[in-house]
Amino acid sequence: MDRRQLADFLRVRRAAIRPGDVGLPEGPRRRTPGLRRQEVAQLAGISVEYYIRLEQARGPKPSRQVLGALARALVLDRDQRAHLFHLVDELPESESSREVSPTVRNLLAGLDDFPAYAIDACYDILAWNGLADRFMGYLSRLTREQRNILRTNFTGPHASAVLADPHTSAFLQDCVADLRASLARSPGDAKLRGLVEELLRASPEFGQMWADHRVAVRKVQTKRVHHHDFGPLEFDCQVLDVPGSAVRLIVYVPQPDSPTAAAFASLREATPVTIAAPVRRLRAPGDGHHAGNRPSSLLLARRVFL
């Protein structure tokens, strides 16, 4: 928490608000512009003494409830409110949102050359485009629990085979490090903490990775998978943050004119899956079984998300 920056910000914003902006009378005896400290305290529902200590850089860290009340009292816009929360090392409510906006959904639908999907900090897949649906084993057929990348890879029916592959294991180590970074940013996030506790109970491998205390935010990575129909494929896994939320876009981007680009083009033109059509899957190294009519729940446990 940066007390000095917080104090300066509160004083500047207080001076910028006219009493009439918040329904208070102007009064004839105001020597300085803006609100008085006691007026801000009254509007925020906190004591005058506590607010004065905040402006003097002497106060304790405000709670999220106090921050919200101060933001309303000072008529902060969205960006100013986010800045206020960041000054005390808190994540604004808007940045913990897991809602996928209509704009992001339209963006996913428009990225028809690349498989693309949206995840939250828990690695739940929230939305996806048609190409991702085909490439990743028809996400639309899966339950919400099955669409969690970490849960499926660590506790799914083929978790042992998945974790035995060095490439997959390295990818999951990065995911666990990213999960720890998310929990450090949002220690009060019940869903994040619940997922960690669930995986610690269910997966010794997750427990070993968690005990390493690695912390890293996901960045672009090169992925290599073996597709049942197209063979070896290679693409960059681009991670794009959605400002003002906990949502990230994952986009699989191949090199132009590469075999992977041609495979994506073929998938894009494929007929959408029906009940009668076989569901294709990715094949993990050493897996010689035919995938033609396997249930799509098996797909996730076999490197679909890599």
Instruction: Encode pLDDT of 269-293 as tens digits.
Output: 874 543 333 333 344 333 433 333 3
Asked if residue 69 and residue 174 are part of one domain, the reply reads no
Q: What's the average model confidence in pLDDT over 186-212?
A: 91
CB crowding 110-124: b at 16 or more within 10 Å, else e: ebeebbbbbbbbbbb
Separation of CA 198 from chain center: 19
Residues 79 and 159 occupy one common structural domain: no
Q: Based on the fold, state whether residues 241 and 150 are members of the same structural domain.
A: yes
**Among 55-69, 91-105, 212-226, 276-290, which stretch is predicted with the lowest mean pLDDT?**
276-290
Looking at 35, 70, 90, the residue that finishes a domain is: 90
Flag whether 64 is in a domain. yes
Q: What local confidence, expressed as pLDDT, does residue 255 receive?
A: 95
Residue 24, in any domain of the structure: yes
Establish if 46 belongs to a structural domain.
Answer: yes
Which of the residue ranges 76-90, 190-204, 211-225, 277-291 has the most confident prediction, judged by mean pLDDT? 190-204
One-letter amino acid at 24 equals L
Q: Give the model's pLDDT for residue 156.
A: 87
What is residue 38's predicted lDDT score, i.e. its pLDDT? 87
Summary mean pLDDT of the chain: 81
Q: Are residue 109 and residue 75 in the same domain, yes or no?
A: no
For the chain, give the number of residues.
306
Asked if residues 283 and 226 have their Cβ atoms less than 8 Å apart, the reply is yes
Q: How many domains does the chain have?
A: 2
| Residue 189 to residue 184: CA distance in whole angstroms | 10
Pair (57, 113) in one structural domain: no
Regarding whether 106 and 82 lie in a shared domain, the answer is no
pTM reported for the whole predicted model: 0.66
Whether residues 186 and 50 share a domain: the answer is no
Q: Are residues 296 and 224 in the same domain?
A: yes
Any domain includes 194: yes
Q: Per residue in 1-23, pLDDT tens?
A: 788 898 999 989 888 888 877 77
DSSP run (H or E) holding 248: strand 248-253
Is the model's pLDDT at 305 over the cut of 80? Answer: no
Q: How far apart are CA 160 and CA 205, in angstroms?
A: 9
Percent of the chain with pLDDT over 90: 29
pLDDT confidence tier of residue 93, bands split at 50, 70 and 90 = low
- Residue 293 domain-assigned? yes
d(CA 196, CA 213): 13
Q: Are 256 and 282 within one domain?
A: yes
pLDDT band at 178 (very low <50, low <70, confident <90, very high): very high
Statement to judge: residues 74 and 212 lie in one domain: no
Residue 104: which of 6, 246, 202 has the closest Cα? 246
* Residue bearing the bigger pLDDT, 257 or 165: 257
Does 96 reside within a domain?
Answer: no
Question: Residue 228 falls within a domain, yes or no?
Answer: yes
Does the pLDDT value for residue 90 go beyond 80? no
User: What's the rounded mean pLDDT across residues 220-243?
Assistant: 87
Distance CA 254, CA 262 (A): 9
In a domain, 18, yes or no: yes
Q: Do 7 and 132 lie in a common domain?
A: no
CATH of the domain at 125: 3.30.450.180
Indicate if the pLDDT at residue 100 is higher than 60.
yes
| CB contact set of 70 (below 8 Å; sequence gap of 6+) | 10, 40, 44, 46, 62, 84
What single-letter amino acid sits at 270?
A: A
Domain that holds residue 70: 3-90
Orientation angle between helical segments 190-202 and 166-185, nearest 10 degrees: 140
Rounded to whole angstroms, the Cα distance separating 303 from 95 reads 29
CATH of the domain at 69: 1.10.260.40
Res 206 pLDDT > 90: yes
Domain-terminating residue out of 55, 90, 125 = 90
- Same domain? For 123 and 198 the reply is yes
Of 70, 90, 110, the position where a domain reaches its end is 90
Task: Tell me how far apart the alpha carbons of residues 147 and 132 are, in angstroms, rounded to a whole number.
Answer: 13
Residue 128 bridge partners (DSSP): 117
Most confident of 31-40, 58-67, 184-193, 275-284: 58-67
Six-digit token string for 240: 């794009």
Give me Rg for the CA atoms of the chain.
25
pLDDT at position 27, please? 66
Helices H / strands E in the chain, number of each = 14, 6
